[in-house]
Structure 1
Amino acid sequence: MFKIFLIEDDTTLFNEIKERLSQWSYDVYGVTNFEQVLQEFTTINPDLVVIDIQLPKFDGFHWCRIIRSHSNVPIIFLSSRDHPTDMVMSMQLGADDFIQKPFHFDVLIAKIQAILRRVYNYNTESLDLKSWCGATVDYAKNTVANENGTVELTKNEMFILKVLIERKNSIVSRSDLIKSLWDDERFVSDNTLTVNVNRLRKSLDKIGIGKFIETKVGQGYMAKEEEQ
């Protein structure tokens, strides 16, 4: 049974989400003290976090930043605010998805299922190391290493890189990437994909290989590697 940590201060909404998710056999935990979110997260050790932006004491961005500094657990944001910058901020902080309130519960459940399937099934499907552009890509540890050092990627960053490497030197369309990542592109914006790819490229820049993730305007992305 997957454990979901729901960081939501609206008791009515929390209870409704918990009831719906329990019907799908998810074990849902809430916050008892909004000043001790990290401690409760550590105790629960959830498989996925759903977090509202507007919270007492500190907002969801604060807690996402804190959680992400300790763990790569998947994070979904909820927000009643209609600001595009909220989505951008969420992705930049390492969140995996963003849902605006009010939302249909089927959408939330579909997103949770897709992320859990992607993250946890993916980790058990392939533990192989991959060589790309002189770097060792470790799918199991979410790391990329070369003579310049090692960088740790988020789940989304590694998944995107894996898809691109498997089709290296070929263009992968934005539509194909979105479908691979979220299973149903109706629930995902182009902007979300752009932020994730930019974040991947920035991570790889730290070891000098970000330039090999190329943007093909109007087409998609390519993991370039010169054939030996």
Structure 2
Amino acid sequence: MFKIMIVEDDLKLREIILENIRKWGFEGSAVTNFTDVLNQFLKFEPHLLLMDINLPYYDGFYWCGRIRSISRVPIIFISSRDSNMDIIMAMNMGGDDYILKPFSLEVLMAKINALLRRTYSYTEIESGVLQHQGVILDLKDNHLEYNQQGVELTKNEYRIAYILMKKSGQIVSRDEIMRGLWEDESFVDDNTLTVNINRLRRKLRDIGLHDFIQTRKGQGYIIP
């Protein structure tokens, strides 16, 4: 179960968010002692943090900086402060997203779910394996496995699979993939990427993976 920690001074809003995330099946905890947010963070060990900027004693920027010094946990700022400087500061301090108050609970939950999916839907472990939805990509020998069936990938096919699995849940542009393959997309024919994508898709279909790589017209590709 994912654990979400709320650092919000507004008691009513805090309780509303807590109730909502629990309805979604998450475990929630709200900070009540704003003099010691860091120790409460360490004790609860959340998978995601909702952080207001205006807090008693020290502001959200301060606590974001403290937490970033020891953790890469995703942080979403929720604030009524709408200046570009505040948003830029939040991102520069290590925030992953910024939501302006008042906000829709549906939008908040969509952002929480998207960020959790991007952060935790795959596992890259010390043995050199990338996993997503039962698909296992061996980072040592360009081997991909699904449902006890394996396929060998070429260097380019492996690199495409790695880039898309690493960013699962996000649309990756063709230019970004080409940069990952050849470092500078200006030196390659765009059709070359299409050939590699199609060849990889055929290999994936052969082991039962249909529509694993999806096209977003005019935007790029995504592994949802």
Same fold (TM over 0.5): yes
Paired position in structure 1 for 2:22? 22
Question: How does 1:56-205 map onto structure 2 within 5 Å?
Answer: 56-123=56-123, 124-125=131-132, 129=139, 164=176, 167-169=180-182, 170=185, 176=219
TM-score normalized with structure 2 length: 0.60
Deviation at 1:113, TM superposition (A): 0.3
Partner AA of 1:105 in structure 2 = L
Alpha-carbon spacing, 1:100–1:165, altered in 2? closer, same or farther (3 Å): same
**Aligned mates of 2:98, 2:29 — CA distance in 1:** 20
**Aligned mates of 1:96, 1:180 — CA distance in 2:** 20
Q: Kindly, what percent of the aligned residue pairs are identical?
A: 46
Alpha-carbon spacing, 1:128–1:93, altered in 2? closer, same or farther (3 Å): farther
Question: How does 1:30-49 map onto structure 2 within 5 Å?
Answer: 30-49=30-49
Kept after mapping to 1: 8 A contact 2:171/2:219: no
For the residue of structure 1 that corresponds to 2:28, the secondary structure is: strand
Bigger Rg over Cα: 2
Residue 2 (structure 1) aligned with residue 2 (structure 2): yes
Kept after mapping to 1: 8 A contact 2:51/2:75: yes
Alpha-carbon spacing, 1:12–1:93, altered in 2? closer, same or farther (3 Å): same
**Aligned mates of 1:30, 1:3 — CA distance in 2:** 11
RMSD: 3.5
For the residue of structure 2 that corresponds to 1:34, the secondary structure is: coil
For the residue of structure 2 that corresponds to 1:18, the secondary structure is: helix
Deviation at 1:129, TM superposition (A): 4.4
Deviation at 1:122, TM superposition (A): 2.7
Alpha-carbon spacing, 1:168–1:5, altered in 2? closer, same or farther (3 Å): same
Aligned length: 157
Kept after mapping to 1: 8 A contact 2:8/2:30: yes
For the residue of structure 1 that corresponds to 2:121, the secondary structure is: helix
Alpha-carbon spacing, 1:66–1:165, altered in 2? closer, same or farther (3 Å): farther
| Runs of 5+ unmatched residues, structure 1 | 131-138, 140-154, 184-228
**Aligned mates of 1:82, 1:15 — CA distance in 2:** 23
Partner AA of 2:103 in structure 1 = F
Moved segments of 4+, more than 4 Å: 126-130
Alpha-carbon spacing, 1:91–1:160, altered in 2? closer, same or farther (3 Å): farther
| Runs of 5+ unmatched residues, structure 2 | 124-130, 141-161, 191-215
Partner AA of 2:69 in structure 1 = S
For the residue of structure 2 that corresponds to 1:115, the secondary structure is: helix
For the residue of structure 2 that corresponds to 1:168, the secondary structure is: helix
For the residue of structure 2 that corresponds to 1:28, the secondary structure is: strand
Alpha-carbon spacing, 1:129–1:106, altered in 2? closer, same or farther (3 Å): same
Deviation at 1:87, TM superposition (A): 1.3
Deviation at 1:93, TM superposition (A): 1.3
